[in-house]
């Protein structure tokens, strides 16, 4: 199986020894504590899960700036997005060495992790804007990732962490949430060596289904990892439980048995386009995958990125040899009325726009909320029914 990024072994920061974890939980009760942001909590979950191997904790200001500027830490590790704990106020944790990090997303704000403070550094507003511009390619406050990042504060609290739980992800998504080490274990049991990963924050329609099958065939993969984001999204995106149900139904009915692992990870969506695509590649490599599907508008939002910028970055900005995982570059896929199948639109001849079955997201939501059936060429009926039930009860 493919090696983790920057390491010979996976380095999950979750404290697996139960006795040690209980002792740390007791220690946390006597430590100065602070409620961290949802972004920092998601980083902790990803660090605990081993997805962010080989990082040992939150980055300092120097690494934050260098990663933003050139995708490398000060020590030379290739990394595309700063992994940080940023606070607005650190007065309650000044002059201490260890702190308890409390979860903002769980009632009662239980302790999520313990952090050893290496430094507390104040970034200037200009530095925060610079990082946002490099990561998101914009400082437009209407961009959801920019809005979140620039609202976190200016104090960067760096240092290693020990993760004590996985926030709400284990309890709310017990059948879907998996750590990187769990995924590696499951793929090893199935005898998978070559695996293609599909990233999604949306339900999967016919085009996505066929894209996964195309990628598996083209790469000669043993299986497909459907890996869905389970954390915070922007307003209007479909909740994780609805996506989960629709994807499971699609795989149950339309994929060969034992060819797909349906899993999810505990992270908040960044909407960082190309940079986030590279981060996706790193933590899929850490999960044991050999290939990642990167298609049109991967991790994008609005019109901030070109349709294939998330593919271009791997050719132009990712140094050769920096990653072992390979990128399966996908064009926009849709049903061809002429060929009666899903195709990559850029790879078929003698087709105009009217030769494809394509619906905008707005049109899909409108049809579902009205109870209108989606074209079978666009969505499997069973998937459309699950989505329709959600829209009719929550959106209309």
pLDDT given for residue 121 in this prediction: 98
* pLDDT tens-place string over residues 275-317: 999 999 999 999 999 999 999 899 999 999 999 999 999 999 9
Q: Which two tokens stand for residue 13?
A: 């920061």
- Whether the Cβ atoms of residue 228 and residue 244 lie closer than 8 Å to each other: yes
φ, ψ for residue 322, nearest 5 deg: -70, -30
What average pLDDT is seen over the chain? 94
The alpha carbon of 256 is separated from its chain's Cα centroid by a whole number of angstroms, namely 26
Q: What is the 3-state secondary structure (H, E, C) of 44-79?
A: HHHHHHCCCCCCCEECCHHHHHHHHHHCECCCCCEC
Rounded CA-CA distance 3/288 in Å is: 7
Average pLDDT over residues 69-77: 97
Query: 36-50, 155-169, 362-376: lowest mean pLDDT where?
Result: 362-376
Closest by CA to 227, choosing from 188, 186, 183, is: 183
Range name among 15-19, 91-95, 285-289 with the lowest pLDDT average: 91-95
Catalytic residues: 201-202
pLDDT of residue 234: 75
Instruction: Identify the CATH homologous superfamily for domain 176-394.
Output: HUPs (3.40.50.620)
Give the residue extent of every domain in the chain. Answer: 18-170, 176-394
Work out the percent of the chain whose per-residue pLDDT is above 90. Answer: 81
Q: Is 393 left (phi over 0), alpha (psi -120 to 50) or beta?
A: alpha
Nearest Cα neighbor of 288 from 213, 193, 223, 211 is 193
**What pLDDT, in 10s, does the model give residues 315-344?**
999 999 999 999 999 988 888 998 998 888
Q: Which CATH number fits domain 18-170: 3.40.50.300, 3.40.50.10490, 3.20.20.70, 3.10.400.10?
A: 3.10.400.10
Q: In this predicted model, what pLDDT tens digit does every residue of 18-68 receive, in sequence order?
A: 999 999 999 999 999 999 999 999 999 999 999 999 999 999 999 999 999
Say what the pTM is: 0.94
């Amino acid at each position: 199986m493919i090696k983790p990024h920057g390491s010979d072994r996976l380095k999950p920061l979750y404290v697996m020894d139960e006795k040690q974890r209980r002792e740390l939980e007791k220690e946390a009760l006597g430590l100065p504590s602070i409620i961290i942001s949802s972004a920092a909590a998601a980083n902790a979950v990803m660090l605990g899960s081993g997805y962010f191997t080989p990082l040992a904790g939150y980055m300092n200001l120097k690494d934050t700036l260098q990663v933003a500027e050139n995708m490398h830490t000060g020590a030379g590790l290739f990394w595309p997005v700063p992994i940080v704990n940023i606070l607005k106020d650190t007065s309650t944790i000044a002059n201490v060495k260890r702190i308890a990090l409390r979860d903002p997303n769980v009632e009662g704000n239980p302790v999520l992790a313990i952090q050893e403070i290496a430094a507390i550094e104040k970034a200037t507003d200009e530095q925060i804007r610079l990082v946002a511009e490099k990561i998101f390619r914009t400082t437009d406050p209407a961009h959801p990732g920019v809005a979140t990042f620039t609202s976190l504060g200016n104090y960067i609290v760096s240092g290693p962490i020990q993760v004590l739980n996985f926030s709400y992800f284990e309890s709310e998504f017990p059948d879907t949430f998996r750590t990187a080490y769990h995924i590696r274990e499951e793929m090893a049991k199935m005898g998978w060596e070559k695996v293609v990963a599909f990233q999604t924050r949306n339900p999967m329609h016919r085009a996505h289904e066929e894209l996964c099958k195309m990628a598996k065939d083209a790469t000669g993969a043993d299986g497909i990892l459907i890996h869905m984001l389970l954390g915070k999204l922007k307003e209007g995106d479909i909740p994780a439980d609805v996506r989960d149900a629709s994807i499971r139904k699609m795989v149950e009915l339309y994929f060969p048995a034992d060819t797909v692992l349906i899993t999810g990870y505990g992270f908040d969506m960044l909407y960082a386009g190309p940079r986030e695509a590279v981060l996706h590649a790193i933590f899929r490599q850490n999960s044991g995958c050999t290939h990642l599907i990167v298609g049109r508008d991967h991790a994008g939002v609005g019109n901030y990125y070109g349709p294939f910028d998330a593919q271009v970055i791997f050719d132009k900005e990712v140094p050769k040899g920096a990653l072992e995982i390979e990128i399966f570059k996908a064009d926009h896929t849709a049903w061809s009325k002429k060929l009666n199948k899903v195709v990559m639109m850029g790879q078929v001849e003698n087709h105009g726009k009217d030769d494809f079955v394509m619906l905008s997201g707005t049109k899909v939501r409108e049809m579902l909320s009205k109870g209108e059936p989606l074209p079978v060429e666009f969505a499997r009926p069973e998937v459309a029914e699950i989505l329709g039930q959600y829209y009719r009860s929550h959106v209309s």
